């Protein structure tokens, strides 16, 4: 899957240039009970971007009007 576009959202593969936005939303989840990133710093957070760049399962959720990445989704295919 390359990308999915709606009037309000674009789902697409991650890019190197997404790091600032990715770190911003992951840092907000630092103490989240279900999807936390404890100990995340701007320096070590790059490992999370690399995981997303290396996998076809991760997609950036981008606001098309601004180009800001506001989250991510993971698509796993089982039994294929």
As a whole number of angstroms, the distance between CA 13 and CA 36 comes to: 22
Task: Flag whether 14 is in a domain.
Answer: yes
Structural domain that includes position 12: 4-74
Whichever domain contains 30, its CATH number is 3.40.630.30
Tell me the average confidence (pLDDT) per consecutive run of 10 residues in the chain, 80 residues long.
Answer: 90 96 87 75 93 94 96 79
pLDDT of residue 33: 67
Q: Where are the alpha helices (DSSP H) in 1-80?
A: 19-28, 46-54
Task: Flag whether 79 is in a domain.
Answer: no
Task: Flag whether 80 is in a domain.
Answer: no
As a whole number of angstroms, the distance between CA 72 and CA 61 comes to: 5
């Amino acid at each position: 899957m390359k990308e999915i576009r709606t009037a309000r959202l674009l789902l697409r593969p991650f890019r190197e240039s997404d790091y600032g936005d990715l770190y911003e939303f992951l840092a907000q989840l630092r103490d989240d009970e279900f999807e936390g990133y404890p100990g995340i710093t701007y320096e070590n957070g790059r490992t999370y971007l690399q995981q997303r760049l290396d996998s076809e399962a991760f997609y950036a959720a981008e606001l098309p009007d601004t180009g800001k990445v506001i989250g991510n989704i993971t698509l796993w295919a089982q039994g294929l």
